Structures are given as C-alpha cells and as structure tokens.
Amino acid sequence: MDGNLPRLALHVPEPRFRPGDAVDFGALLLSRAGEQLRPDETCAASATHGLCHDLIRVLGEDDLAHGPWNPALDPGTLIRMLRLMALTRAFDARMVRAQRQGKTSFYMKSTGEEATAVATALALADDDMVFPTYRQQGLLIARGYPLVEMVDQIFSNRADRLKGRQLPIMYSARAQSVFSISGNLATQIPQAVGWAMASAIRGDSRIATAFVGEGSSAEGDFHSGLTFAAVYHAPVVINLVNNQWAISSFSGFAGAERTTFAARAIGYGIAGLRVDGNDPLAVFAAVRWAADRARANAGPTLIEHFTYRAEGHSTSDDPGQYRSAAERTEWPLGDPVDRLMRHLVTLGVWDAGQQADMDAAVDAEVRDAVRAAEAHGTLGQGLHHPFRTMFEDVFETPPWHLVEQSEQAIRERRIKWPDWSDEGDVGERP
C-alpha cells in the first residue's frame, strides 16, 4: 500500500438508538399537514419528484384534514375505515394469543401499520389485483375475506383452503383478487408488474398493486420489476412500506441513510410519492391518485409509506434485543387507529363510548371466528387435511412415480401407527 494515500474505511450503517438509549426523533424532517402540492394524476413523472423528498400529510395536529390531498371522505366511509383497522388490530391480538397457546406455529402482527393496508384497499377498485406481503392482513379483511377462513389457514386445519401447504398468514384469495403470499421476499414486484402488463395487453381496465418492505427493496427482484414497469409504462402501483426495521436490521442497510426510498422513482423516471403511513387519509389519497394515474395510462407510481413497526417482526422476534423500547412511544407520527378516531371525534361524529362499543364488537367478532375455526382443528390438536392430500394438486393426472411414492408413504405410516386414519380424524399424528 502506498504510504501517501489515505487508508480506505468501510462504512457500516448503525441505528441511532439501541436498547436502553433515550430516543429523540427530532432530526426527522416532518412537514406540516396540507403543505404538499397535489399535481394532476396525468402529470409528467418529474412533477412528482419533489414529493419523493417531502411527506404527504393530511391530518394535522388539530386532528382536522388539511390541504389539496384531503380526500374529503364522508363520515360513513371514515367510520368504516376505522372499524376495519380496529378489526385488524383485534385479529392480530387474538392470533398472537393463539400462537402462544400452541394453536399455530407462527404469526406476524401489523400493529401501527394498519392504515397502509386498509386505506389502500379502500382506495382501489375491488377487482384491482393485489400482490401483498405477509403484513397486509388488513387488506384481506377490508375486501371481505372471511375471518374464519383466515384463522383456518393460520391453524393449518382440515378447513384450510390451502391444505396446510403455506406457512401461517400466507393467504391466497382469488375471489378477492389477492395473489398468493410468498415468503420469498420481493418476488411480488415483478409478478405485479407482469400482471399489469398483461392487463394492458388485453385492453382491460384492472390495474395491479404490490407491497414490499423497505428491507426487501434491496432485493434484485424489486429493481427488475421497476425497470420493466418504467420501460413498458405498466399500470401498477408499488407500495413500499418503510416501517424502519427489517427484522433486526434497521432501514439504513437498505439505503435509508442516503435518501428516501421514494426517491428511487426519480432514477427510474417514474412517478413517486412519500406519504405519512400513519395518516389513513393521506394513504388513501396517495393510493387513489396513483391508481387513477395507472388507469389513465400515465404510468406506474412508487409510494413510500413512512411508518413504524410498533411490535416485533413476528412471534419469533424480540425487538427489545436490538432497538430501544422508547421508539414506539416516541414515534412522532403517532398511531393510525388513534389518529383517525381523534379526527372523527373532532368532526363531532364519534365519541369515546362509540369507540369502546366498536372495540368490544370487533373483539367479539374475532373471538367467534376463532371458535368456529377451532372446531375445524388447530395445529397441535389434529383435524388436519388427510395425509394423502400431500400428493394432490400437482398434476392433473398423477404420474406413476408420484402414485408409487404416495402408496409407499401411506403404507409406512400405517406400519408405524397401526391405529392411524387417513381421514383427518381427531388423533391423527403428524
């Protein structure tokens, strides 16, 4: 090494707060609600690039809606939105309890991020195709997917439409236009873009939208998908949910120290928006704008939902091991459910008693769904799909070698457990 040259140094991103640290989010640049300009949906992509560095906000500190992004939703729609977010939160709480009781192996909550899914669902047409990740249960709930069937899938019981072949929470809901959720990160981006391109080729009117976490946006599939979207002007909306943490890795490892995630739209020459992900009205307005743009053949949009993952990555995670416990309470954008509730109270159409009644009602609705699903079985108590179904649905006509493998597996199973039944009865051993 030449002694006259400076030594190179590798930069390793480090979160600002670790367990036990005091938390101060004062360095975050949060513009005031209502200050952001709203360009026409068919504008040049470059007209949105200032919004990639700003933060679209509608609900102000006074709990009222402000500015040109205010979607002016009627009280009935706002109350419905609030109920769907409360129902999603109640569902999450019950499913974590079920996991702790051994009724399922795994669960992932969306606490603090309910607006990114529920408001998005309400902003889209019901038949727009959605390619979600594993934290958009609010989207399925908003589209009317039965809670019992969601619990059946989580419990992997005999009523599970996916026959126990998917990890818990990785739903598939064709009737609700929700594509099968995959544990392989970012794969849904090129899938959504390809689906949108096919819709355009057919001359259809349906658009596609996809979700990806900020950590997964570092995957190659994300960039491949955006390249195709930009080149072919695909009618697609890419929702990048920046909840600050990818399991135990903070957003800096995906590039957050350099610029916003929405700013990636600038490099691809497509429209980009950065929105307060804890403001349900702002999320609704941004997604509706992007959906209208796609439907008008004006091209794709990348939306960064700036939010915070209030709890652990999953039931297998302890966030107290890698981040300060004060982050959740100090997060400056608040809680989406609480913010919408306060807005309705300020409008004079809601009060604390109605909120308490709603919370009790959605909890009872989830409890009833769980009880109904438990009658179909749980992970640890049998009543699973018959063993033979493991070999079904692969080929229309099973080839000889698959038939042979199935017969051999069932024969060996009966030798090991003579009292075993292949009809999914109580007591069937795994």
Query: In the predicted model, is pLDDT for residue 29 greater than 70?
Result: yes
Query: In the predicted model, is pLDDT for residue 430 greater than 90?
Result: no
Nearest to 240 by CA among 131, 342, 336: 131
Same domain, 211 and 250: yes
Mind listing the pLDDT tens digit for each residue in 137-166? 999 999 999 999 999 999 999 999 999 999
Place of tokens 């909890």: 363
- Rounded Cα gap, residues 293 and 39, in angstroms: 11
Query: In the predicted model, is pLDDT for residue 103 greater than 80?
Result: yes
DSSP summary character for residue 178: B
Question: Which residues lie closer than 8 Å to 171 by C-beta, 6 or more apart?
Answer: 137, 140, 145, 150, 153, 162, 178, 180, 181
Same domain, 135 and 180: yes
Residue 18 confidence (pLDDT) = 95
Same domain, 345 and 428: no
Assess if residue 5 is contained within a domain.
no
Same domain, 153 and 256: yes
Write down how long the chain is. 430
Nearest to 261 by CA among 306, 305, 304, 209: 304
The residues with which 238 forms a beta bridge, in sequence order, are 210, 302
- Rounded Cα gap, residues 316 and 172, in angstroms: 23
Query: In the predicted model, is pLDDT for residue 373 greater than 80?
Result: yes
Residue 194, Cβ neighbours under 10 Å: how many?
Answer: 18
Same domain, 307 and 368: yes
User: Residue 69: exposed, middle, or buried by beta-carbon count in 10 A (0-12, 13-18, 19+)?
Assistant: buried
At residue 59 the predicted structure's pLDDT band, cuts being 50, 70 and 90, is very high
DSSP summary character for residue 391: G
What backbone torsions phi and psi does residue 133 show, to the nearest 5 degrees? -105, -165
Same domain, 300 and 369: yes
Assess if residue 266 is contained within a domain.
yes
Assess if residue 20 is contained within a domain.
no
- For residues 57 and 34, the answer to whether their CB atoms sit within 8 Å is yes
Query: In the predicted model, is pLDDT for residue 427 greater than 50?
Result: no
Mean pLDDT (whole number) for 174-187 = 94
CATH of the domain at 196: 3.40.50.970
Tell me which of 380 and 83 has the higher pLDDT. Answer: 83
Assess if residue 36 is contained within a domain.
no
Q: Tokens at residue 240, please?
A: 């990048």
| pLDDT, the chain, mean | 94
Mind listing the pLDDT tens digit for each residue in 240-251? 999 999 999 999
- Rounded Cα gap, residues 355 and 344, in angstroms: 10
Assess if residue 309 is contained within a domain.
yes
What three-state secondary structure class fits 212? strand
Q: Which of 126-130, 382-386, 415-419 has the lowest mean pLDDT?
A: 382-386
Same domain, 241 and 361: yes
At residue 23 the predicted structure's pLDDT band, cuts being 50, 70 and 90, is very high
What three-state secondary structure class fits 112? coil
Assess if residue 323 is contained within a domain.
no
Q: How many helices (H) and strands (E) does the chain have?
A: 12, 7
Same domain, 93 and 237: yes
Query: In the predicted model, is pLDDT for residue 1 greater than 70?
Result: no
Assess if residue 94 is contained within a domain.
yes
Mind listing the pLDDT tens digit for each residue in 302-318? 999 999 999 999 999 99
Same domain, 210 and 286: yes
User: Residue 341: exposed, middle, or buried by beta-carbon count in 10 A (0-12, 13-18, 19+)?
Assistant: buried
Query: In the predicted model, is pLDDT for residue 388 greater than 70?
Result: yes
Same domain, 63 and 196: yes
The residues with which 302 forms a beta bridge, in sequence order, are 238, 272
Mind listing the pLDDT tens digit for each residue in 399-426? 999 999 989 988 998 898 887 766 544 4
- Domain that includes residue 183, residue range: 45-314+328-374
Same domain, 301 and 276: yes
pLDDT over 70, % of the chain? 97
Assess if residue 51 is contained within a domain.
yes
Same domain, 298 and 407: no
Q: Where are the alpha helices (DSSP H) in 258-377?
A: 264-268, 280-295, 326-330, 336-347, 352-374
What backbone torsions phi and psi does residue 340 show, to the nearest 5 degrees? -70, -40
pLDDT over 90, % of the chain? 88
Do strands 249-250 and 245-246 pair parallel, antiparallel, or not at all (unpaired)? antiparallel
At residue 351 the predicted structure's pLDDT band, cuts being 50, 70 and 90, is very high
* Number of domains comprising the chain: 2
